[in-house]
Structures are given as structure tokens and as C-alpha cells.
Amino acid sequence: MIPEFVPHFEAQYHALLGRLEKIVTAGSAETGTLETAYQEALRAWQEVAREIKAGGFCNKEAEIYFFKLIKPFFTGQIELYTHRYHALVFLRGGILVMGEKDFWKNEFRKITRFEVTHAGFIRYYHSGKKDMDEQYFLRSASAEPQFPRSNIYDNDPDVSAPYDRILALCIGYGHYRQFIEDQFKKPAG
């Protein structure tokens, strides 16, 4: 059963994607554009988080659905623009001690390490199984978060479940991987 809040949050997410597309296509790949995109994704997530804190969940199935299929898409966008901004700072800031192609290869390896480290959970998520959902996606689950909650946008236990950060990174890294692949397709120079 799909919880009643789903159409509302899906509409918010699609609106967010539209706003991000306008920001990125209207700007350039400079820090100001990426900061604006990050801030837009952050604002959208904060609005969703406020709504969840105010209304809560009607049952554990709704809570699982939210942490498995709603929240990570919002926070995955935050992760994407965090990584893109980080890359731009290194590439444009004179910090880089290697060539640009080597930088992108290192970024790709970082994503691969993450995927290998969390392969079991990622396989579970993509399989559509539900037998571990309570452990992974309920706030009351006894499982320890599998990734530190050191990020500023997502350290509130009222809107966090043990594995939702891994899922946000998985989604964000998926988009970032595509961005990296696009960088390799660009002509040198």
C-alpha cells in the first residue's frame, strides 16, 4: 500500500528537479551555480523534513516507504551537488596536484569503493526485497547507522533512519558517476 503522502512528495521532488535543471542550464559549471543548486536541494529537503516532523507517520509501513523511497531522492540531490562543488573547487582552485583526468579517475574510484563497501545493502535495495526493511528504514531500528551522520543537512534523528544516508549517497553517486563519465567524453583542452 502506498502511503497517502507519496503524491505530495513526488510532486515536490519533480518540482525540485525542474528548478535544478533551470539553475544548472542557466548558469555555468562555476561555484555560484553549484552553490545555488545545492541550496535549492537543501531547501526542498528541509521543507520535507519539517512536514514529516510536524505530521509524523501513520504506521511503520509509511515510515519505511518514506526512508526507502522518498527521502533518499531529495538528499541524493544534495549529495550530487556537494560532490560537484567539491570537484570544481579542486579543479579550479589550484589545489590539484594531478591532471584533470587523474582527478576524475580518483573520483570514479571513490564511488567504486563506496559501492564495494556497501554492496550487500545496495543489492538488497535494488532487489526489491522487503525482509530487512524494518532494520534498515525504521528510526526505532536497533541497527547503528552504517555511515557517519557528519553531514550538516541530515543529523536530526527525527528524520533519519539507519541506512538512509547510504541510500542518499548511492543515488547521489549514481548521478555523479554520470557527470564524471561526461567529463571523460569532453575533448581535451
pLDDT tens by residue, 23-64: 988 876 677 899 999 999 999 999 999 999 999 898 999 999
pLDDT band of 1, cuts 50, 70, 90:
low
More confident residue, 186 or 168: 168
The predicted pLDDT at position 91 comes to 83
State the CB neighbour count (10 A cutoff) for residue 121.
16
C-alpha cell of residue 8: 505530495
Stretch among 1-10, 69-78, 133-142 having the lowest mean pLDDT: 1-10
Is the dihedral angle over the CA atoms 179, 182, 188, 189 positive or is it negative?
negative
For residue 101, name the pLDDT band (cuts at 50, 70, 90): confident
The position carrying cell 551555480 is 33
Q: Is the distance from CB of 111 to CB of 177 less than 8 angstroms?
A: yes
> Residue 146 half-sphere exposure, CB side, CA atoms within 13 Å?
21
Q: Tell me what percent of the residues of the chain surpass a pLDDT of 70.
A: 89
Q: What's the grid cell of residue 80?
A: 550530487
Taking the C-alpha atoms of residue 138 and residue 61, their distance in angstroms, rounded to an integer, is: 9
Judged against a pLDDT cut of 70, whether residue 143 lies above it is answered with no
113 pLDDT band (50/70/90 cuts)?
very high
Higher pLDDT among residues 184 and 46, named by residue: 46
Is pLDDT of 95 > 70? Answer: no
**Per-domain residue ranges of the chain:** 6-185
How far is Cα of residue 174 from the mean position of the Cα atoms in its chain? 9
Does residue 113 or residue 90 have the better pLDDT? 113
Residue 56, by phi and psi: left (phi above 0), alpha (psi -120 to 50) or beta?
Answer: left
How high is the pLDDT of residue 26? 83
- Residue 45, class by beta-carbon neighbours within 10 Å (0-12 exposed, 13-18 middle, 19+ buried)? buried
Average pLDDT, the chain: 88
| 114 vs 65: CA distance, rounded Å | 24
Q: Looking at residue 105, what is its pLDDT?
A: 92
Residue 146 to residue 166: CA distance in whole angstroms: 7
Residues 6+ apart with CB under 8 A from 115: 122, 170, 173
The yes-or-no verdict on residue 186 having pLDDT over 60 is: yes
Pick 141 or 165 by higher pLDDT.
165
Look up residue 69 and give its DSSP letter. I
The pTM of the full predicted model, rounded to 2 decimals, is: 0.89
- Under the banding of pLDDT at 50, 70 and 90, the label for residue 149 is low
